[in-house]
Amino acid sequence: MLECSIGIMAYNEERNISKILHSLINQKEEKIKIAEIVVVSSACTDRTDDIVKEFAKKDKRIKLVCQETRGGKVKAINDYLKLVKYPIVVMESADTIPSKNTIENICLPFIENERIGVVGGHPLPANNKNTFMGFVSHMQWELHHRASTMKPKCGEILAIRNLMRKIPTDLIIDDAYIELFFEKKGYKVAYAPSAVVKNKGPETIKDFIKRRRNLATGFFQLKEKYNYIPSTQKTFWLIGETLKITGFNIKKIFWSFCVMILNWWATMLGGYDYYVKKKYNAAWEIATSTKELKKDEI
Protein backbone atom coordinates (compact mmCIF):
# COMPACT_ATOMS: atom_id res chain seq x y z
CA MET A 1 0.00 0.00 0.00
CA LEU A 2 1.17 3.52 -0.80
CA GLU A 3 1.70 5.43 2.44
CA CYS A 4 0.71 9.06 2.83
CA SER A 5 0.94 11.78 5.43
CA ILE A 6 -1.92 14.24 5.94
CA GLY A 7 -1.21 17.79 7.06
CA ILE A 8 -3.88 20.09 8.48
CA MET A 9 -2.96 23.75 8.99
CA ALA A 10 -5.17 25.13 11.75
CA TYR A 11 -5.85 28.45 13.42
CA ASN A 12 -8.66 28.55 15.99
CA GLU A 13 -10.62 25.65 14.47
CA GLU A 14 -12.34 24.35 17.62
CA ARG A 15 -15.71 24.28 15.85
CA ASN A 16 -14.53 21.99 13.04
CA ILE A 17 -11.32 20.18 14.01
CA SER A 18 -13.04 17.24 15.69
CA LYS A 19 -15.22 16.69 12.58
CA ILE A 20 -12.29 16.62 10.15
CA LEU A 21 -10.20 14.35 12.40
CA HIS A 22 -13.12 11.95 12.89
CA SER A 23 -13.59 11.79 9.14
CA LEU A 24 -9.88 11.25 8.44
CA ILE A 25 -9.39 8.42 10.91
CA ASN A 26 -12.40 6.65 9.38
CA GLN A 27 -11.28 6.90 5.75
CA LYS A 28 -11.57 3.92 3.43
CA GLU A 29 -8.08 2.46 2.88
CA GLU A 30 -7.57 -0.14 0.16
CA LYS A 31 -4.52 0.86 -1.89
CA ILE A 32 -3.58 3.87 0.22
CA LYS A 33 -2.46 3.80 3.85
CA ILE A 34 -2.75 6.89 6.05
CA ALA A 35 0.48 6.71 8.04
CA GLU A 36 0.06 9.94 10.00
CA ILE A 37 -2.21 12.94 10.46
CA VAL A 38 -0.32 16.06 11.49
CA VAL A 39 -2.13 19.15 12.78
CA VAL A 40 -0.01 22.30 12.70
CA SER A 41 -1.55 24.67 15.22
CA SER A 42 -0.66 28.30 14.42
CA ALA A 43 -0.70 29.79 17.93
CA CYS A 44 -4.35 28.80 18.47
CA THR A 45 -6.05 30.64 21.33
CA ASP A 46 -9.17 28.46 21.52
CA ARG A 47 -9.61 24.73 22.30
CA THR A 48 -8.12 23.44 19.03
CA ASP A 49 -4.97 22.05 20.66
CA ASP A 50 -6.87 20.34 23.47
CA ILE A 51 -9.24 18.65 21.02
CA VAL A 52 -6.34 17.38 18.89
CA LYS A 53 -4.57 16.02 21.99
CA GLU A 54 -7.70 14.08 22.95
CA PHE A 55 -7.83 12.50 19.49
CA ALA A 56 -4.10 11.71 19.65
CA LYS A 57 -4.69 9.63 22.78
CA LYS A 58 -7.06 7.40 20.81
CA ASP A 59 -5.18 7.26 17.50
CA LYS A 60 -1.37 7.23 17.46
CA ARG A 61 -1.28 8.47 13.87
CA ILE A 62 -2.42 11.90 15.03
CA LYS A 63 0.33 14.38 15.93
CA LEU A 64 0.18 17.99 17.06
CA VAL A 65 2.77 20.61 16.10
CA CYS A 66 2.34 23.91 17.95
CA GLN A 67 3.69 27.18 16.58
CA GLU A 68 4.35 29.93 19.11
CA THR A 69 3.28 32.70 16.73
CA ARG A 70 0.82 32.83 13.85
CA GLY A 71 2.81 33.26 10.67
CA GLY A 72 0.20 32.24 8.10
CA LYS A 73 -0.54 29.08 6.14
CA VAL A 74 2.73 29.03 4.18
CA LYS A 75 4.78 29.11 7.39
CA ALA A 76 2.63 26.27 8.78
CA ILE A 77 3.09 24.23 5.59
CA ASN A 78 6.87 24.73 5.69
CA ASP A 79 7.04 23.54 9.30
CA TYR A 80 4.98 20.50 8.31
CA LEU A 81 7.09 19.66 5.25
CA LYS A 82 10.22 19.52 7.41
CA LEU A 83 8.72 16.55 9.26
CA VAL A 84 7.21 14.40 6.49
CA LYS A 85 8.96 11.12 5.66
CA TYR A 86 6.27 9.42 3.59
CA PRO A 87 6.16 9.39 -0.24
CA ILE A 88 2.81 11.19 -0.60
CA VAL A 89 1.81 14.36 1.21
CA VAL A 90 -1.83 15.42 1.48
CA MET A 91 -2.67 18.93 2.67
CA GLU A 92 -6.24 19.80 3.62
CA SER A 93 -7.79 22.99 4.96
CA ALA A 94 -8.89 22.62 8.57
CA ASP A 95 -12.35 24.02 7.84
CA THR A 96 -13.33 21.23 5.43
CA ILE A 97 -14.72 17.71 5.79
CA PRO A 98 -13.56 14.92 3.44
CA SER A 99 -15.87 12.21 2.14
CA LYS A 100 -15.15 8.63 3.23
CA ASN A 101 -12.99 7.79 0.19
CA THR A 102 -11.46 11.21 -0.48
CA ILE A 103 -7.88 10.39 0.60
CA GLU A 104 -7.91 7.18 -1.41
CA ASN A 105 -9.20 8.99 -4.51
CA ILE A 106 -6.76 11.89 -4.34
CA CYS A 107 -3.75 9.55 -3.94
CA LEU A 108 -4.60 6.88 -6.55
CA PRO A 109 -3.38 8.98 -9.53
CA PHE A 110 0.18 8.71 -8.16
CA ILE A 111 -0.03 4.92 -8.53
CA GLU A 112 -1.59 5.13 -11.99
CA ASN A 113 0.92 7.63 -13.45
CA GLU A 114 4.46 8.19 -12.15
CA ARG A 115 4.67 11.57 -13.93
CA ILE A 116 1.92 13.09 -11.83
CA GLY A 117 3.33 15.39 -9.16
CA VAL A 118 0.24 17.14 -7.81
CA VAL A 119 -3.43 16.18 -7.53
CA GLY A 120 -6.20 18.60 -6.63
CA GLY A 121 -9.47 17.58 -5.01
CA HIS A 122 -13.06 18.70 -5.50
CA PRO A 123 -14.46 21.16 -2.93
CA LEU A 124 -18.25 21.24 -2.61
CA PRO A 125 -19.91 24.03 -0.60
CA ALA A 126 -22.37 23.11 2.12
CA ASN A 127 -24.24 26.42 1.89
CA ASN A 128 -27.91 26.63 0.95
CA LYS A 129 -27.84 27.40 -2.79
CA ASN A 130 -31.30 29.02 -2.63
CA THR A 131 -29.91 32.01 -0.71
CA PHE A 132 -27.80 34.70 -2.37
CA MET A 133 -24.61 33.92 -0.44
CA GLY A 134 -25.19 30.19 -0.91
CA PHE A 135 -25.57 30.77 -4.65
CA VAL A 136 -22.29 32.71 -4.62
CA SER A 137 -20.39 29.80 -3.04
CA HIS A 138 -21.89 27.18 -5.34
CA MET A 139 -21.17 29.36 -8.38
CA GLN A 140 -17.53 29.93 -7.37
CA TRP A 141 -16.76 26.26 -6.77
CA GLU A 142 -18.67 25.06 -9.85
CA LEU A 143 -16.51 27.40 -11.94
CA HIS A 144 -13.44 26.02 -10.14
CA HIS A 145 -14.57 22.47 -10.95
CA ARG A 146 -15.16 23.26 -14.63
CA ALA A 147 -11.79 25.00 -14.92
CA SER A 148 -10.08 22.02 -13.26
CA THR A 149 -11.51 19.56 -15.78
CA MET A 150 -9.68 21.52 -18.52
CA LYS A 151 -6.53 22.62 -16.68
CA PRO A 152 -6.27 21.09 -13.19
CA LYS A 153 -5.93 23.55 -10.33
CA CYS A 154 -5.93 23.02 -6.60
CA GLY A 155 -7.89 24.41 -3.69
CA GLU A 156 -8.88 23.29 -0.16
CA ILE A 157 -7.20 19.88 -0.56
CA LEU A 158 -4.23 18.73 -2.63
CA ALA A 159 -1.74 15.86 -2.66
CA ILE A 160 1.89 15.99 -3.81
CA ARG A 161 4.89 13.73 -4.17
CA ASN A 162 7.24 14.35 -1.27
CA LEU A 163 9.76 16.37 -3.30
CA MET A 164 9.15 19.84 -1.91
CA ARG A 165 10.92 21.11 1.18
CA LYS A 166 9.81 24.73 1.30
CA ILE A 167 7.48 27.36 -0.17
CA PRO A 168 8.82 30.95 -0.40
CA THR A 169 7.81 32.53 2.89
CA ASP A 170 6.61 35.81 1.37
CA LEU A 171 3.91 34.11 -0.73
CA ILE A 172 0.26 34.70 0.09
CA ILE A 173 -1.18 31.78 -1.93
CA ASP A 174 0.40 28.34 -1.58
CA ASP A 175 -1.49 26.00 -3.93
CA ALA A 176 -0.75 27.84 -7.20
CA TYR A 177 2.96 27.97 -6.34
CA ILE A 178 2.96 24.22 -5.62
CA GLU A 179 1.47 23.59 -9.08
CA LEU A 180 4.16 25.76 -10.69
CA PHE A 181 6.93 24.07 -8.69
CA PHE A 182 6.06 20.61 -9.96
CA GLU A 183 5.37 21.74 -13.53
CA LYS A 184 8.87 23.24 -13.67
CA LYS A 185 10.26 19.86 -12.56
CA GLY A 186 8.48 18.15 -15.45
CA TYR A 187 5.58 16.68 -13.47
CA LYS A 188 1.89 16.90 -14.33
CA VAL A 189 -0.93 18.43 -12.30
CA ALA A 190 -4.03 16.22 -12.12
CA TYR A 191 -7.60 16.66 -10.91
CA ALA A 192 -9.53 14.07 -8.90
CA PRO A 193 -13.22 15.10 -9.03
CA SER A 194 -14.17 12.14 -6.83
CA ALA A 195 -11.89 13.40 -4.02
CA VAL A 196 -14.65 15.50 -2.47
CA VAL A 197 -14.33 17.78 0.53
CA LYS A 198 -17.23 19.76 1.96
CA ASN A 199 -16.52 23.34 2.91
CA LYS A 200 -18.44 26.37 4.10
CA GLY A 201 -18.50 29.44 1.90
CA PRO A 202 -18.90 32.94 3.36
CA GLU A 203 -22.36 33.63 4.75
CA THR A 204 -21.98 37.41 4.70
CA ILE A 205 -20.92 39.89 2.01
CA LYS A 206 -18.29 41.24 4.41
CA ASP A 207 -16.66 37.80 4.75
CA PHE A 208 -16.88 37.24 0.98
CA ILE A 209 -15.06 40.52 0.29
CA LYS A 210 -12.50 39.70 2.97
CA ARG A 211 -11.66 36.31 1.44
CA ARG A 212 -11.68 37.47 -2.20
CA ARG A 213 -9.52 40.47 -1.27
CA ASN A 214 -6.91 38.16 0.23
CA LEU A 215 -7.00 35.96 -2.87
CA ALA A 216 -6.75 38.94 -5.22
CA THR A 217 -3.64 40.18 -3.42
CA GLY A 218 -2.12 36.74 -3.83
CA PHE A 219 -3.00 36.59 -7.53
CA PHE A 220 -1.35 39.98 -8.15
CA GLN A 221 1.74 38.68 -6.40
CA LEU A 222 1.82 35.47 -8.48
CA LYS A 223 1.39 37.43 -11.70
CA GLU A 224 4.25 39.77 -10.85
CA LYS A 225 6.64 37.11 -9.54
CA TYR A 226 5.83 34.14 -11.80
CA ASN A 227 3.63 35.51 -14.60
CA TYR A 228 0.88 33.15 -13.40
CA ILE A 229 -2.81 33.84 -14.08
CA PRO A 230 -5.36 31.25 -12.81
CA SER A 231 -7.78 29.91 -15.40
CA THR A 232 -10.68 31.09 -13.23
CA GLN A 233 -9.48 34.70 -13.71
CA LYS A 234 -10.07 34.71 -17.50
CA THR A 235 -13.01 37.08 -18.06
CA PHE A 236 -14.60 35.76 -21.29
CA TRP A 237 -14.43 32.15 -20.13
CA LEU A 238 -16.01 33.15 -16.80
CA ILE A 239 -18.91 34.95 -18.48
CA GLY A 240 -19.62 32.05 -20.83
CA GLU A 241 -19.51 29.38 -18.13
CA THR A 242 -21.58 31.53 -15.76
CA LEU A 243 -24.37 31.77 -18.34
CA LYS A 244 -24.28 27.99 -18.77
CA ILE A 245 -24.53 27.44 -15.02
CA THR A 246 -27.43 29.87 -14.57
CA GLY A 247 -29.36 28.28 -17.42
CA PHE A 248 -30.32 31.83 -18.44
CA ASN A 249 -32.54 32.09 -15.34
CA ILE A 250 -33.23 35.82 -14.77
CA LYS A 251 -32.80 35.74 -10.99
CA LYS A 252 -29.58 33.75 -11.21
CA ILE A 253 -28.22 36.01 -13.95
CA PHE A 254 -28.93 39.04 -11.74
CA TRP A 255 -27.24 37.33 -8.77
CA SER A 256 -24.28 36.47 -11.00
CA PHE A 257 -24.01 40.13 -12.03
CA CYS A 258 -23.95 41.07 -8.33
CA VAL A 259 -21.20 38.48 -7.72
CA MET A 260 -19.13 40.00 -10.53
CA ILE A 261 -19.48 43.45 -8.97
CA LEU A 262 -18.41 42.13 -5.57
CA ASN A 263 -15.48 40.28 -7.14
CA TRP A 264 -14.46 43.41 -9.03
CA TRP A 265 -14.54 45.46 -5.82
CA ALA A 266 -12.54 42.82 -3.91
CA THR A 267 -10.00 42.72 -6.76
CA MET A 268 -9.62 46.50 -6.62
CA LEU A 269 -9.02 46.29 -2.88
CA GLY A 270 -6.50 43.50 -3.39
CA GLY A 271 -4.69 45.61 -5.99
CA TYR A 272 -4.65 48.53 -3.59
CA ASP A 273 -3.20 46.30 -0.86
CA TYR A 274 -0.49 44.91 -3.12
CA TYR A 275 0.58 47.85 -5.25
CA VAL A 276 -0.19 50.86 -3.02
CA LYS A 277 0.00 49.70 0.59
CA LYS A 278 2.65 47.04 -0.22
CA LYS A 279 0.75 44.77 2.15
CA TYR A 280 1.80 41.13 1.85
CA ASN A 281 0.13 39.63 4.89
CA ALA A 282 0.58 35.84 4.84
CA ALA A 283 -1.69 35.48 7.89
CA TRP A 284 -5.11 36.12 6.36
CA GLU A 285 -7.84 37.97 8.20
CA ILE A 286 -10.34 35.31 9.26
CA ALA A 287 -13.74 35.04 7.59
CA THR A 288 -15.62 33.81 10.66
CA SER A 289 -18.80 32.64 8.89
CA THR A 290 -16.80 29.94 7.03
CA LYS A 291 -15.51 28.26 10.16
CA GLU A 292 -18.18 25.75 11.10
CA LEU A 293 -19.76 22.96 9.11
CA LYS A 294 -22.92 21.87 10.88
CA LYS A 295 -23.89 18.22 11.14
CA ASP A 296 -26.76 18.53 8.65
CA GLU A 297 -24.43 20.19 6.12
CA ILE A 298 -21.81 17.43 5.97
Q: What are the domain boundaries of the chain? A: 2-203
- Pairing type for strands 188-199 and 116-125 reads parallel
> Could you tell me the fold of the domain covering 2-203?
Spore Coat Polysaccharide Biosynthesis Protein SpsA; Chain A (3.90.550)
Instruction: Give me the pLDDT at residue 227, please.
Output: 85
Alpha-carbon distance values, 212 to 55, 94, 218 (Å): 33, 19, 10
- State pLDDT tens for residues 156-188: 999 999 999 999 988 888 998 999 999 999 999
Q: What is the pLDDT of residues 70-94, one digit of tens each?
A: 888 899 999 999 999 999 999 999 9
Whether 174 and 167 have beta carbons less than 8 Å apart is answered as yes
Give residue 197's Cα distance to chain centre: 10
First-to-last alpha carbon distance for the chain, in angstroms, is: 29
133 contact partners, CB below 8 Å, separation of at least 6 = 127, 201, 202, 203, 204, 205, 208
91 vs 158: CA distance, rounded Å: 6
State the CB neighbour count (10 A cutoff) for residue 208: 23
* Res. 289 pLDDT band, cuts 50 70 90: low
Provide the pLDDT for residue 292: 63
DSSP, collapsed to helix, strand or coil, labels residue 66 as: strand
For 109-159, what is each residue's pLDDT tens digit?
A: 999 999 999 999 999 999 999 999 999 999 999 999 999 998 888 889 999
Please give the pLDDT value at position 231: 63
Closest by Cα among 191, 185, 160 to 174: 160
What pLDDT is attached to residue 162?
Answer: 96
Helix (H) or strand (E) holding 214: helix 205-226
Instruction: Evaluate whether 110 touches 129 at the Cβ level (below 8 Å).
Output: no
pTM: 0.89
